[in-house]
Structure 1
């Protein structure tokens, strides 16, 4: 047992030297956990920001001017004042996402209690921004009318108090930044482990391993711990430097617990990367197989859209993916400060899945080595 552990350690160190000698992979790791995290977190937003808006003001009253001035930055750009005959042309050209149409005699009708209608034309090409923006504008208009004419405000039967926990400012980058780290852990784990095996085959060093007193399982474990060490270290540094310090996203949970879970998770996804590499004959073929696998694992893991919004049968199918359980664990630990007593079922799930992947990858890897002898 001790001799086997020593061989695994030395083979893993060899993997680290091989990785250091490959500048492309080193740059990929650094880029993935630095600029890629920052760019996606600050660029891909779900809330409304700098949306283009125009106003058709056919009333030209103080109330209509107040409604127009209430569409403020950073949610909206400076509102443009256009005529009613320009609405269709402007929407067809994609010049504005929102166009507010204030009818004639709007202020008079409001004072008289006639409940005038304000039109809102929306370019729903970008559905998320369109839906959120419509709610923003509706609330802004209602609040401004109520503030301008408090005597018209009706007493609500209840007083609803909303408290947003874990992300009180409802910033999308708080969610996107952490989930991007999780997704990148999955992507790099598969790519590095698979690329390491194919690199051995293309460079001919796999033949050197065949004449050494090492077993296939030892070669696999060496690749797993070496690549896993690099990825976990990069992920923790990214959470501390990029997510927490640069983006200002608070990480409330235990990084020790997260790192422990990440190590167990890496055991399963690196085994998956080796499994994909054993059925690939070249690096190009490995990429073609790995890309659709990674897309499905990331998009349907709960890191992009909630699991509850998926069909029940698809939720059941995705339970065989370790990424689904790791995303749930990471959200619980990093966002809500959950402890081991809460997340141990997720840890157990991807350990079991990882053991199945590792066993299958070992069989495939052993068969691939025997075919080369």
Structure 2
């Protein structure tokens, strides 16, 4: 870790969401463009200037326009909220500023979130303790319900070996601050569930989660796989990002929701082959141009032959005069085609479906799935 820069690598989804949430906070709360502070690397890591922690206002209006809350640290934990209100006015910012001086030391116990041996110096810890933050430092140094109450009972439910087997593990000073920003990166759906797109690349996560939010606010799409599929298409069309196989195989949506009296966490991912198709520029542009959710779903389901069958039926109906359509043909068009531009020119629409099928078959035929 350089003196003025910290390099962060993707880890478990909570840590990743915390990093992305922190970057959102810089933009939306601190009014600092993330490009001035952070740099995304091709290896999936992100580099952040350490002196940013000395410049933060450490406050925001994210939760209320009427009453300022304690930065994004309050998260969803009443324990954090109640405790920090006691130390907020002149103590917690001192802790945040000390993060600009964090170091890695071999004899430090690794953090259970980032796996790094990050710590504050003995002098810095003593100084914070003298400010009355001893219990605070002890409390946030081990992962428990105060970091996020909904995760306390769910420690064994995380995939890919991201979590230690023990229910309590060390949390380094940096992670203790980053993960409390995680809620800023979540997108809340109408059913009150919240989702986050996780991946082995901070650059991919940064953009995909922004697209998920934009698409949901614009389209109000509730189906997670459709949101993910459309977001990957946006990524392809706007950024032309080339993802490695490891990244494509590990893009997942983390969903938090309430079921009765219990908090649940579920994970959803698209097959590697499907993501590969959506990252093809020609295929992505055509799906976007078609604009029909049912066509996207055929791609997501791997039902490519049905795209061809769909196009053939549309083509046959399009050859007829509209006055000659039968009852079933009218019902088919009204039910299966939602976009006015497609209804207005069925022949053109069918040609796009034929082209989409051909592009997918060509992609598959090149053996790109091996």
TM-score by length of 1: 0.23
User: Which structure: larger Rg?
Assistant: 1
TM-score by length of 2: 0.23
Structure 1 or 2: more helix by fraction: 1
